Chain A
């Protein structure tokens, strides 16, 4: 593809969770040193894609290559960090105890604990138990853990969901400052107005890649005023195309043709 130096290459990813086919041959590329937003409605496959990138998702076929190695490989685990929607911190431990634990697991020095606590602005809450923090503060503890040891790739699943606008803006500032130092951020969101804060966008719907673009190109290509309208525009357009495709096949009444269409949709 056009990316010189991709951090993540997803090729033909096929994932089934229970009876649901989440992905059927999904491919995408994520550039390094940039903030890539994974956007799409709830249940579109963002979390599954993220879990595949950090190597904890069972996949049926396809490959996910991160920094040139298979996702989840031992040597990758201290270069790729992850924060799930569930925060993944111990509610009955203090801020510092949580971060210290993860620092020891990743063999990160104690100095770094203080650095990430300052970075997320929890310097005056270090001794507070996470359960007593606000939702936004506990989200920042989770982010601090993800930033420990300055990993090359930081993968965050809905890091700003349910947070007030001021805190959201401050988290995005943190992502931007770290990305400026060369860290790759992969951030999922179902809030379309966050698209503008990303360098690159991957729009997903029902396990299908709707578009891989940038915020500027998304707006100029669709002629819409904001990301939400642009996303809706793209989805309507793809549904119309799919509808037209189906009409065509029913006219041709060739089953093989129908299969071709399906494949083409999957690879797009």
Chain B
């Protein structure tokens, strides 16, 4: 299957790149550890911890994907792909699947580290956190694919991070609960996927269940699919 061919290829590329794998898997744990240490005297880590678990998969996969896709565009491999019988959707979903698998491994490590080493209290089931991380990573991948369409160089691709990701962190409920924000900001926040990722992890951490977890996860998944479809439009087979 052509979709799986791309997934295998992306995983093989990462398998050759030990440093990137280490960065993807270890950096989130280090940062969670730092936060745990920083807030070791109080309860703040119990609030911040889940939010961090909601941020990492998205941010990291966004960066990795936007650079990887730009490399496809500049190395001639994307152009070659367009001359094969394979479809553009199988390329894009192949990427999403590969990074989704990585995100699950990353989430497993980060969640277990946060819970068992740093003493984060998650009242809800841990598998839900892993699931959210995977959906969140796929959403980050999808947005990275989309953002790379606006970059011509790797420098620009990295600069897309502050453009596409930082505003979401600012209004996503990390610094201030959404309810406490001005109404236009609330409205803005509800247009952004990361808001729902944070809402979902907070719901799991607070042992809410059912729709309180399901609704933000479904919205997040819809964002992911939407961006994947839109990014396939940013990769026309025929270019000028």
The answer to whether A264 has its CB under 8 Å from any CB of chain B is: no
Say yes or no: A88 contacts B77, CB within 8 Å: yes
- Asked if B101 is an interface residue, CB under 8 A from chain A, the answer is no
A172 within 8 A of B: no
Known A-B contacts A72-B237, A74-B85; A92 and B13 likewise in contact (beta carbons under 8 Å): yes
Do the beta carbons of B80 and A55 come within 8 Å of each other? Answer: no
A129 touching B85, Cβ below 8 Å: no
Knowing A104-B2, A105-B86, say if A90 contacts B75 (CB, 8 Å): yes
Instruction: Count contacts on A: residues with CB < 8 A to the other chain.
Output: 36
Task: Please tell me if B41 contacts chain A, counting CB pairs below 8 Å.
Answer: no
B81 within 8 A of A: yes
The minimal Cβ–Cβ distance linking A79 to chain B, given in whole angstroms, is 10
The answer to whether B83 touches A80, judged by C-beta atoms less than 8 angstroms apart, is yes
Give bound CA distance, A104 to B79, whole Å: 17
Which residue of A is nearest B4, CB measured?
A104
Max chain B CB contacts within 10 Å: which of A101, A107, A129, A145? A101
- Known contacts A83-B80, A92-B17, A106-B84; A57 and B9 CB within 8 A of each other: no
The residues of B that contact A18 with a CB separation of less than 8 Å are 240
Closest to A148 in B: B84
Q: Is the CB of B83 within 8 A of A56?
A: yes
Alpha-carbon distance between A78 and B238 when the two chains are bound, in angstroms: 17
Q: At the interface, yes or no: B219 with Cβ under 8 Å from chain A?
A: no
Contact with A along B1-24 (1 / 0, CB 8 A): 010011011001100110000000
Q: Are B13 and A90 in contact (CB under 8 A)?
A: yes
Task: Knowing A18-B240, A57-B239, A105-B2 are in contact, say whether A93-B85 is a contact too (CB < 8 A).
Answer: no
Q: Please name all residues of chain B whose beta carbon is closer than 8 Å to the beta carbon of A91 when the two chains form the complex.
A: 75
> In whole Å, how far is A77's beta carbon from the nearest beta carbon of chain B?
4
Residues of A contacting B: mostly: loop
For window 69-121 of B, CB contacts with A under 8 Å fall at 74-77, 79-86
Chain A proximity of B162: nearest CB distance (Å) = 27
Residues from chain B with Cβ under 8 Å of A222 in the complex: none
List of A residues within 8 angstroms of B77 by Cβ: 88-90
For A85, the closest partner residue in chain B by CB is B76
Cα A107 to Cα B2 in complex, Å, equals 8
A-B pairs under 8 A by CB, number: 89
User: Considering only CB atoms, which chain B residue lies closest to A98 in the complex?
Assistant: B9
With both beta carbons as reference points, the residue of chain A lying nearest to B1 in the complex is identified as: A104
A82 within 8 A of B: yes
**CB neighbours of B76 from chain A (8 A):** 84-88
User: Could you say which interface size class chain B belongs to?
Assistant: 20 to 34
Q: Give every chain B residue within 8 A of A90 (Cβ-Cβ).
A: 9, 13, 75, 77
Q: Return the contact of B85 from the options A17, A58, A107 (Cβ within 8 A).
A: A107
Known: A57-B239, A89-B77, A129-B16. A77 touches B9 (CB 8 A): no
Across the interface, A86 reaches (CB within 8 A) one of B2, B17, B75, B238, namely: B75
Q: Which residue of A lies closest to B78 (CB)?
A: A88
* A199: Cβ under 8 A from any B Cβ: no
User: Are A58 and B9 within 8 A (Cβ)?
Assistant: no
Check if A77 sits within 8 Å of B85, measured CB to CB: yes
Chain A 107-125: CB-based contact to B (< 8 A → 1; otherwise 0): 1000000000000000000
Q: Is the CB of A56 within 8 A of B75?
A: no
CB pair B80–A58 under 8 Å, yes or no, is no
Interface residues of A in 49-72 (CB under 8 A from B): 54-58, 72
Is A93 touching B9 in the complex (CB atoms < 8 A)?
yes
The minimal Cβ–Cβ distance linking B106 to chain A, given in whole angstroms, is: 20
Most buried by A among B12, B16, B83, B236: B83
Q: Across the two chains, which residue of chain B brings its CB closest to A104?
A: B5
Complex interface: chain B residues within 8 A of A93 (CB): 9, 12-13, 16
The distance in angstroms between the C-alpha atoms of A72 and B237, with both chains bound, is 9
A56 to B12, CA, bound (A): 27
In the A-B complex, the 9 residue pairs with the smallest Cβ-Cβ separation, listed nearest first, are A86-B76, A88-B80, A104-B5, A88-B76, A105-B86, A82-B83, A77-B85, A101-B9, A105-B84
Known pairs A74-B85, A84-B76, A89-B75; list 4 more (Cβ under 8 Å): A55-B237, A88-B79, A94-B16, A106-B86
Jot down 28 A-B pairs with beta carbons below 8 A, ordered by A.
Answer: A16-B240, A18-B240, A55-B83, A55-B237, A56-B238, A58-B238, A58-B239, A72-B83, A81-B83, A82-B83, A84-B76, A84-B79, A85-B76, A87-B75, A88-B80, A90-B9, A90-B13, A90-B75, A93-B13, A93-B16, A94-B16, A97-B9, A101-B8, A104-B8, A105-B2, A105-B85, A105-B86, A129-B16
